[in-house]
Each structure stands twice: as C-alpha cells, then as structure tokens.
Amino acid sequence: MKLYLASSSPRRAHMLADWGIPFSIVKTDVDEVMLDAAPENCAAQNALAKAKSGSDHVDAGLVIGADTIVACDGRILGKPLDEAQARDMLALLEGREHRVITAMAAVLVPGKATATRTSITHVFMRHLSESERQAYFDNPEYRDKAGAYAVQGLAASFIERTEGPMDTIIGFTMSDFHALCIELHVDMRR
C-alpha cells in the first residue's frame, strides 16, 4: 500500500526515510488552529484535518497527518510569529516541565476510514544563561517550531530529561503510526 505524508515538516519526512518506509509527500490545504480546547484535542483536530485534506489528492493509499503542540500551564504554544514571541515562549519553558503532544491521524483511501492517536512526552528544560539565549536566537532554528525549539537541534542541550517517547517531541511517534496501521488493517511491510 502506498503511504502519503500530509506534512511539509522535513523532520517527519526524515524520520520516515530513516526508518526505511517509502512514502510520498501530499499537499494539504489546512491552517493549523489553536482552539480553546485541551491541547490534545487541538493536536488531534489539526492532524485529522491535514490527513483528510491530503486524502483529497490521492486515489488510493494511506494518508498520515500529524500535529505537534507544546503546552505549559494550560497554555498552548504554537509556532512563534516572531523572535519576541519565541523569547517569551522559551522564558515560560525554562526551568520547568512542559508537555509535548503529537497527534497522528490516518485516512485510508478509498473509503475514507479514519483513525487517530495522541502521544504525550513530558519535557524538563533547564534554566539558560543570557549568552545561551542570545546564541540560540542568533540562529533561525526556533522559527516554525512549536514552543520555539526542536529537541533534535541546538535546543537539545537545554533539555534536562524527558518522560515519554522522544519521537513524540520530534513530531512523528512511530508506535502510534504502527497502531494506526493496525487499526485500519494496513500492512506497510508490503
């Protein structure tokens, strides 16, 4: 069965390629929304919207959508609009625990059967020095990242510890991908 990734995230594409899973990128026409709902619900709604949008562009196969949200103190931290907002986000996360939520959704085409999964990893970020902060914001890495950081990039040294799957933080939880395939009776080994 052909696999389609309804995401423009190079990190998600890189993960699938590293796992040796053949796939194609499919276009989506979805703007991520941060509703007043629980972060888990927002991530799941965004992931499903992406998968459904992507499924409109394929004749047959499994379309996977994903969305990653960072949540701290009941606040959803999406992608920062600018450096000032990114600095505010990092200041909120420093020296404390926050949650990274990745929801994944699958749409099986034809038929449009759907399934969703959500995974949460608790992340503990240390306090940063002003020079560390400045060096981080001198690099554009924080842009287009939920919570203004990527654990696999420069911010890796900011993380004291994690509780939960590391791939959830990166944005594609492999165990959830396998669970989605099982739920929809899809064998990706063929």
Q: How confident is the model at residue 35 (pLDDT cuts 50, 70, 90)?
A: low
Q: What is the pLDDT of residues 71-91, one digit of tens each?
A: 999 889 988 999 999 999 999
Q: Quick one: CA torsion of 59, 61, 62, 66, rounded to 10 degrees? A: -50
188 within domain boundaries: no
The CATH number given to whatever domain includes residue 99 is: 3.90.950.10
Domain count, the chain: 1
Residue 31 lies in a domain: yes
Q: How far apart are CA 26 and CA 2, in angstroms?
A: 12
Query: Considering only CA atoms, which of 177, 178, 127, 170 is closest in space to residue 146?
Result: 170
In a domain, 190, yes or no: no
How many Cβ atoms are within 10 Å of 186's Cβ, its own excluded?
19
pLDDT digits (tens, 9 = 90+) for 97-153: 999 999 999 999 998 899 999 999 999 999 999 999 999 999 998 998 889 998 988
Q: pLDDT tens digit string along 166-187?
A: 999 999 999 999 999 999 999 8
Catalytic positions, please? Answer: 67
| 34 has pLDDT over 90 | no
Residue 178 sits in which domain range?
3-183
In a domain, 156, yes or no: yes
